[in-house]
Structure 1
Amino acid sequence: MSSPAIERDAVIAQTVHWLEKAVIGLNLCPFAKAVHVKKQIRYVVSEAETPEELLEKLMEELQYLADADPEKIDTTLLIHPNVLTDFFDFNEFLDVADAALEDLGLDGFLQIANFHPEYQFADTDQNDIGNYTNRSPYPTLHLLREDSLDRAVEAFPEAADIFEKNIETMEKLGHDGWDKLLERP
């Protein structure tokens, strides 16, 4: 039996691997590399087993990020492997997450992006390769600073084209390519 610290480390290691190989490696998010290289990403593994426990942790982390020095922590990945493992339950929780932002008075200052192992865009087949742009090893809420996002978009004039380029990248890569990309050595 492994300790919670070892399990937490393994979850973070898998998430970092995905970030480096897929998100940065395929340039799915051109803004991710800078904060990764500067070590400004906070990785938090929640032990929540219920949506209520996750909401409590989410609110803690939103406040933590809001209070943190952006030079030290620019963004947070709140990874929750034990709750909302069903994508449709996860997707419904996103309204609750957005309401938490408003309740904390952080709407417009922070925002929440989302990734999930079963991510599925509306009106797509579950196995559509385009869905893989948002597929992570574990359900993950990505807490971002609005001003950092604004600066990144200014520095990347084609930001509106990211989604289309990502779909094109994934179609070229295909399912086999995705599986090989994420293989652990």
Structure 2
Amino acid sequence: MMDLRDDEVIAATRRWVEQVVVAFNLCPFAKRELVKERVRFVVSKADSEPELLDELAHELALLNVQPDVETTLLIHPQLLQDFYQYNDFLEVADELLVDMDLEGVYQVASFHPDYQFGGTEPEDAENYTNRSPFPMLHLLREDSLTVAIDSYPEVDLIPERNIECMNEQGVEKLRALLKACLKPDAGN
């Protein structure tokens, strides 16, 4: 992985949120929180899974005391580069929610540069709905998610619409967009 400063990692991640997630409306709730500056971008310093778990616990505790932060992207560019190891770590993250008595209060959504849904091929376009410039854990407030889902028409169609959108874009374009997010002058 390239050696980037924290501000560069955050800038690349923000470009991805703006130019992929929001631009393609992959999450119809993302733009509002981004505009309101209620998204916390945090670059992990962890170089081991136990350290990342500690940072995750810290971010969950912080969400409990900072209601003005709607969601957190815990970005870990130096750890869990292998998607299958990352995927295994998600189980540990979910166990942490249980251990902290926060299951049902928060959920952890997953994004990774090599994200692959079960039953897909590695380069299927639909995988790009969850492909990000760096591995990251997205911490979501369950109550806010419920309110957003309840107020959004045909929320069950979002995954199908996202797959269709990614297929229309094509793998080459999506790969280029993701790569462009890593360039400091992207979108300027």
TM-score tier by shorter-chain length is: over 0.9
SS at 2:162 equivalent: helix
d(CA) in 1 for partners of 2:84, 2:129: 17
1:16 maps to which of 6, 14, 17: 14
Q: CA deviation at 1:177?
A: 2.1
* 1:80 maps to 2:54: no
Q: Alignment RMSD, CA only?
A: 1.3
- C-alpha distance after superposition, 1:66-93 (max 9, x if no partner): 2212xx2000000001111100000000
Match of 2:110 in 1: 114
- Map of 1:86-105 to 2, 5 A cutoff? 86-105=82-101
Q: CA deviation at 1:120?
A: 0.3
The structure, 1 or 2, with the larger RCO (C-alpha pairs under 8 Å, 6+ apart) is 2
* 1:25 maps to 2:30: no
Cα pair 2:124 2:171 within 8 Å, conserved: no
d(CA) in 1 for partners of 2:92, 2:160: 28
Q: Where do 5+ consecutive residues of structure 1 fail to align?
A: none
Give the alignment's TM-score, normalised by structure 2: 0.92
d(CA) in 2 for partners of 1:104, 1:180: 39
d(CA) in 1 for partners of 2:155, 2:135: 25
Cα pair 1:119 1:134 within 8 Å, conserved: yes
Q: How many residues align?
A: 179
SS at 2:40 equivalent: strand
2:66 maps to which of 59, 68, 75: 68
* 1:147 maps to 2:171: no
Match of 2:46 in 1: 48
Moved more, 92-101 or 172-181: 172-181
Cα pair 1:66 1:110 within 8 Å, conserved: no
1:136 maps to which of 125, 132, 138: 132
Q: Where do 5+ consecutive residues of structure 2 fail to align?
A: 181-185
Which stretches of structure 1, 4 residues or more, deviate above 4 A after TM superposition?
A: none
- C-alpha distance after superposition, 1:91-147 (max 9, x if no partner): 000110000011111111111101000000011111111101000000010001001
SS at 1:176 equivalent: helix
